[in-house]
Chains A and B, each alone.
Chain A
Amino acid sequence: NLMGARLAGSHVDTQEPKTNPLVSISDEPETLYKRLSILVKGHDKAVLDSYEYFAVLAAKELGISVEKVDKPPKTIERFTLLKSVHIYKKHRVQYEMRTHYMCLELKYLTSSTAAVYLEYVQRNLPEGVAMEVKKTKIERIPEHIKKPVWDTLPQVEEAEVKS
């Protein structure tokens, strides 16, 4: 009785192709990215460090090779204002805003891989403190550069110039 129940529930005999509605297959060739550089900015260095660990781990799990993780020096924007509303020019207040950076560079991606990775990483961006600026470099050689120009032009006889 149990064997009959098991076979009734399994889909061994039905031959339906399993199509995942989220995966789309297209025939056009995918654009390739040589390098994907992600720059993350934030006020808090600890948040950026944890985000770097998360992004590197996500890249390793997806099989994306990480070229390097760069940490550019922080920029401090300072300004000096008057402390009082009316007079007292000699007494001022100084404020500063520190921005820490973290640059993540990934090598050799396809457009779909890049889209998936960026979507995942951007959805988990911490609130406010980190901001992402993405620069992608695309690899493609245009047709008109492949041959040198002087081969394609028709041969013109040069007239001798007598000075």
Chain B
Amino acid sequence: PLSPQTRAARVRVGKGDKPVTYEQAHPPHYIAHRKGWLSLHTGNLHGEAGAAERAVEDSFLRRFMFGTFPGLLADEVVLKRRGNLLVVCALLGRALPPSKIYFLVGYAETLLSHFYKCPVRLELQTVPARVVYKYL
């Protein structure tokens, strides 16, 4: 039973003019029910190691993505790890011309693969505007 005073990962109800995405609108107790996971790796499974390293890598990758695509990220970055391969999936807005986006993608991929010593693949999708789930 949840207390109304919990404030974890919740957007507080306001006047009705704040657009909120599906990811932001749902508090964390909906994670396996209405929400999915943002970073998929085997570190948190029972009997598996490496959860802390994955968490550090995840936080670095999210800050890196937030910095290389300034103002373009429409939603949270989804990270997937298949064996050695790191797949970074992101939703971008259409503020920059495609040539610049291609350069940023190549820059991010080569830099991250040299930094983490593993193949990094960036999968992007552009969206005209942020997908609003509701207004709070």
> Interface residues, chain A, CB within 8 Å of chain B?
41-44, 75, 77, 93, 97-99, 125-129, 131
Complex CA–CA separation, A76 to B23 (angstroms)? 24
* Interface check B56, CB cutoff 8 A: no
Determine how close the nearest CB of chain A comes to the CB of B48; give it in whole angstroms: 6
Q: How far is the CA of A129 from the CA of B78 in the complex (A)?
A: 13
Whether the Cβ atoms of A128 and B46 lie closer than 8 Å is: no
Instruction: List the A side residues contacting B39 at CB < 8 Å.
Output: 128
B-side interface residues, number (CB < 8 Å):
18
Cα distance, A59 to B81, chains bound together (Å): 25
Partner of B45, one of A93, A99, A125: A99
B90 contacts A by Cβ under 8 Å: no
Chain B binding surface, main DSSP class: loop
Q: Given A75-B46, A77-B46, A97-B46, is A128 in contact with B41 using a C-beta cutoff of 8 Å?
A: yes
**Residues of B bordering A, CB below 8 Å:** 8, 32, 36-37, 39-42, 44-48, 80-83, 87
**Once the chains are docked, how many angstroms separate the CA of A44 from the CA of B31?**
10
**Which secondary structure dominates chain A's binding surface?**
strand
Contact B81 A128 (CB under 8 A): yes
- What are some 30 contacts across the A-B interface (CB < 8 A)? A41-B45, A41-B46, A41-B47, A41-B48, A42-B45, A43-B32, A43-B37, A43-B44, A43-B45, A44-B32, A44-B36, A44-B37, A75-B46, A93-B8, A97-B45, A98-B32, A99-B45, A125-B82, A126-B40, A127-B40, A127-B41, A127-B80, A127-B81, A127-B82, A127-B87, A128-B40, A128-B42, A128-B81, A129-B37, A129-B40
